[in-house]
Each structure stands twice: as C-alpha cells, then as structure tokens.
Amino acid sequence: MATTKNLCAQISLDLHQKISDAREAAGLTTAQYITELLTEYFKMKENGGNITMTNNNTRTLAFQISEDLFQRIKTHLERETQRTGRKLTQREFVLGLIEEALEAAERQVGEASQNPEEHTQEEAGANPCEAQSGGDAPQPPDTPSQGGVEPREGEEGLPVSQDK
C-alpha cells in the first residue's frame, strides 16, 4: 500500500454538502472520493485544462455548423454565463438540448402507446393517399379524390400545353 498523509481543509457547508452527496452517490469513502477528485484535477491540468475521455462508455458526436449559428451559440453562452454567474460550456449546452429533445420525444412515444385510439393513421406514418379501398391501386397524391371532376387540358382553369 502506498504511503499516505492526511490533508485537512476548512470548506463551506454548501461545498461540503455537494461533496458528501457526490461521494455517497459514487459509493466511495471520503478519502477515496477526494483522492479521485484531486487525481482527475491534476490530470486535467497536465492536459492543458482538457478532460480526457478515458471512459469506454462515451462516444464522440461531431458536426459542422455555419459561422452564423456558431456566433449565435457563442453569444447565448456568454449571456447565460452573465445571467447565472457560472460559465456554460458548449458541451453542456448541446448535451442539455439533446437530453431535452430526447426526453420530449420519449414522453410522446409513451403517451402514444398509452392512448393508441387517439392517434390517426397519418400520425402513425400512414399516408392517406396510399390507403387502398376496394382493391384499387394506391391513388397518387396529386390525383383528385373520388367524386371530384378534374378539368381536362384546354378547359377553363388549365393552360393548353404546347407539346402535342
């Protein structure tokens, strides 16, 4: 076992509570948790402030955006940092948006599965123009519905084509 030495510091009650909650959630002793925090901190410092993703349960999602959108995001992040007094990173912002969108989509799927009779064929992805009736072939989307009369070329409302 490595030789150890005690480290003692006075911290605010709020910070102590945050550390205690996180330590309990991680299932570690205070010594183990503080050791991990400090080790991670010094690794980050050696990396120029960047956190290395050593966890195999992470994946990288990368994409390009327009300069205009990038500037809008940057302005929003600065505004939120001033508003909250805490720096909001691009990563936190994008992950937050993704989480919100996925949760909303999952809620919709859950609601749809609980109330299937409230959803029409169109909501379920069925195109009403493709619905077959009486064994006929599917009706093309720009064909008028049955019972309607479509004007013929040359009749009022439609131009006569020049390529006869």
Residue 50: strand, helix, or coil: coil
CA–CA distance from 134 to each of 121, 128, 137, 139, 144 (Å)? 18, 15, 9, 12, 17
15-24, 41-50, 135-144: which has the minimum mean pLDDT?
135-144
φ/ψ (deg, to 5) at 129: -75, -20
Per-domain boundaries in the chain: 11-55, 61-116
Return the structure tokens found at 32: 């183990």
Mind listing the pLDDT tens digit for each residue in 46-61? 777 666 555 567 788 8
Per residue in 87-135, pLDDT (tens digit) is 888 988 999 999 999 999 999 998 888 876 655 554 555 544 444 444 4
Query: What integer pLDDT is reported at residue 45 of this predicted model?
Result: 81
List the one residue out of 7, 34, 10, 9 whose CA is nearest residue 20. 34
* pLDDT tens for each residue of 132-147: 444 444 444 444 444 4
Distance separating the N- and C-terminal Cα atoms of the chain: 94
Check: pTM over 0.85? Answer yes or no.
no
